[in-house]
Structure 1
Amino acid sequence: MKMKNEIIDVSNLYKKIEDNVKKVVVGQDEIIKMVFLTLICDSHSIIVGVPGLAKTLIIKLISKTIDCKYSRIQFTPDLMPSDITGTTVLRKDEKETLYKFIKGPIFANIILADEINRTPPKTQAALLQSMEERVVTNEGVDYELEKPFNVFATQNPIEQEGTYPLPEAELDRFMFMIDINYPDKKSEMEILKERIVNENFNVEEGIVKKSEILKIQEYVKTLPLGSNIVETVWKILKNSRPETSEVDKVAEYVKWGASPRAGIFIIAAAKGYALLDGRLTPDINDVVKVAPYVLKHRLILSFKGEMENVKKEDIVESIIKKSCF
């Protein structure tokens, strides 16, 4: 009975966040859900979309809804690692001279890494190390990052000049790659009718406690898992790899498939998705829902796949059909 009450609490919690964000953002319901899913799975996501589709706004509004510290880092070509992690400064007073570490914007709960591919690899690495290890090291001293700690990076797919694409090994640290598309006609008409430039949005702040998010993060990890789900996820991983795949497109167009980390992420995300729907255990449909977000940025196309401009989405769809049905 206790578990059932907790499920209801999670559903209600998400409803509060969703309703608050939808006071401002129109037509991006699935994106809001995937961002919240990233939070409760205690992970990170990368959001890809052209300018003006509310990528930054969604993260900012969710952060406002939760009683936590939010930090936005605008990535530029001249951004240095210390601009993210912090720096040591020399301070003098009448008695002594001290070196003090001034914490950077990475010391927050929800981080927006805006246009992460505009900064050189050295600076990208400073962020990605913090994502993986949840600590910042300065002058040999480790500073733990406060929980929850979730990074949301954004990328603009239409501008490639002067950018530094994230290597596949670093992309692998992001649980989801979330593509944000243009709204449908009804939603866009509503946006055009109701919104004005530089509008002051009236949303409730801090209506969800940070402790509630932490509690759910731990709860997701304890949800039971059926052996059929584990086997299905294993089939997805197997069929994503050209040397073991039963999918013709993979054997022909994919150079490298998904790692075990991808499977761990699929299972965690499926658990979270089930929880949002008021269920204790995930089913195959939950796996089907979350797997595309986990797989897309982990498949590396072969030279032939690149030359023929093969869409990863089509390959992922074939992998899921073969593995889940």
Structure 2
Amino acid sequence: MSLNDDIKGLEAAIGESIIGQRDVIRRLVIGLLAGGNLLIEGLPGLAKTRAVKAMARHLEADFSRIQFTPDLLPSDVTGSEVYHQGEEGAVFRFHPGPLFANLVLADEINRAPAKVQSALLEAMEERQVTVGGTTHKMPALFMVLATQNPIEQEGTYPLPEAQMDRFMMHVRVDYPSREEEVQVIRLVRQEEQANNREASPAAGDAPAQVPVALAQEAIFAARREIAALHVAEPMEQYMATLVDATRHPADFSDDLARYIELGASPRASLALDRCARAHAWLEGRDYVDPVDVQQVAPEVLRHRIGLSFEAQGQGFSADDAVATLLGCVALP
């Protein structure tokens, strides 16, 4: 099997546990290959946490889940220095928090106050945490996957723009179709039956199979191949123009000029490049074409565009702005 087949196998394995969310699974894999952090937004019960757990289960990696609550402290996330009294005398030793894992699920991140949310910023951007004046490096494979509920208002703390910009992609999870929901019912019923057999096995029952985990080195090898993908100069210009159009919308559309108040930062251009290369690699190509950019553009740009009050009043969303941008910017 090729390296591409191994990653496709990981994607298929996640899909066995998640029904009707193929696009979400593909974005999770792209984020993993591109080495970025993901913000996953959706209503309760749409398998956001389940999808992240499924990826961790089929990957040779340490997984950590942090339930964000209003009373959470930064040290609950990063860890802290603890006083120890031993034979060698009194010393402070650093006890790593749950943030020190390969895949970190920050569940309901918008329930925690800004001070706790900011504790993630250094780890997400610099891949390190500083506690008590000492810097502690994160693992080589490190990824924050944060979830949030879009409808809750009471008891939540909206993420500031600076933190939103740290997420490479903003992935939205939608309702499954009726047929997919029937498959969900059957899948959960089968899992329940399997758990009952495992808890109280009957004579002749076959032992439960342990899922095969993909080695971390496969991810690093895939990243090396993705880094070597060819990106033509016209494609670079195309990505840069898309991002520049969010900053100077009047040059492309009168409607965009009225609706877009704040454009995307250079992180958007870098994310477009990395995600487009990962998408092209998954499609089996050694070069990036406009389709790759268009496929990842909504997730890369939707959380980096600031809309005006007029846009919000008329129901013009960030996704509408991205769709308009893709239609206005000429293809290379």
Same fold (TM over 0.5): yes
Letter in 1 for 2:109: I
Letter in 1 for 2:34: C
Aligned-partner Cα distance in 2 for 1:245–1:10: 43
Task: Give the alignment partner of residue 181 of structure 1, picking from 166, 174, 186.
Answer: 174
- Identity score, percent: 36
* Map of 2:151 onto structure 1: 158
Aligned-partner Cα distance in 2 for 1:176–1:220: 18
Judged with a 3 Å threshold, the aligned counterparts in structure 2 of structure 1 residues 198 and 125 are, in CA distance, closer, same or farther, namely: farther
CA displacement at 1:318 relative to structure 2: 0.5
Letter in 1 for 2:54: L
Superposed CA offset, 1:129-187 (max 9, x none): 21111111111111100111111100111211111101112101111110000112221
Aligned-partner Cα distance in 2 for 1:204–1:321: 47
Superposed CA offset, 1:28-54 (max 9, x none): 111111001000001111000011111
Within-5 A mapping of 1:242-261: 242=248, 245-261=251-267
CA displacement at 1:59 relative to structure 2: 0.7
Letter in 1 for 2:113: P
1:66 aligns with 2:59: yes
Superposed CA offset, 1:38-90 (max 9, x none): 00001111000011111001111111111010111110001110001001111
Provide the secondary structure at the position in 2 that maps to 1:23. helix
1:320 aligns with 2:326: yes
Aligned-partner Cα distance in 2 for 1:297–1:225: 25
1:19 aligns with 2:12: yes
Aligned-partner Cα distance in 1 for 2:162–2:134: 26
Structure 1 contact 26–187 (Cα < 8 Å) conserved = yes
1:116 aligns with 2:109: yes
CA displacement at 1:248 relative to structure 2: 2.3
Aligned-partner Cα distance in 2 for 1:10–1:31: 21
Range with bigger deviation, 132-141 or 308-317: 308-317
Provide the secondary structure at the position in 2 that maps to 1:57. helix
Judged with a 3 Å threshold, the aligned counterparts in structure 2 of structure 1 residues 95 and 271 are, in CA distance, closer, same or farther, namely: closer
Structure 2 contact 271–300 (Cα < 8 Å) conserved = yes
Structure 1 contact 20–203 (Cα < 8 Å) conserved = no
TM-score with structure 1 length normalisation? 0.93
CA displacement at 1:99 relative to structure 2: 1.2
Within-5 A mapping of 1:217-232: 217-232=223-238
* Map of 1:304 onto structure 2: 310
Superposed CA offset, 1:230-284 (max 9, x none): 1111221122124553122220111111122101111111100000011001101
Judged with a 3 Å threshold, the aligned counterparts in structure 2 of structure 1 residues 110 and 194 are, in CA distance, closer, same or farther, namely: closer
Provide the secondary structure at the position in 1 that maps to 2:179. helix
Structure 1 contact 171–297 (Cα < 8 Å) conserved = yes
Aligned-partner Cα distance in 2 for 1:241–1:43: 23
* Map of 1:9 onto structure 2: 2
Superposed CA offset, 1:75-128 (max 9, x none): 000111000100111112344222111000011001100000000001000012
Aligned-partner Cα distance in 2 for 1:61–1:185: 23
Structure 1 contact 20–204 (Cα < 8 Å) conserved = no
Structure 2 contact 239–272 (Cα < 8 Å) conserved = yes
Computed over aligned residues only, the root mean square deviation of the Cα atoms, in angstroms, reads 1.8
Q: Structure 2: where are the runs of 5+ without partners?
A: 196-207
Structure 2 contact 4–222 (Cα < 8 Å) conserved = no
* Map of 1:5 onto structure 2: none
1:76 aligns with 2:69: yes
Aligned-partner Cα distance in 2 for 1:127–1:171: 11
CA displacement at 1:299 relative to structure 2: 0.6
Structure 1 contact 48–157 (Cα < 8 Å) conserved = yes
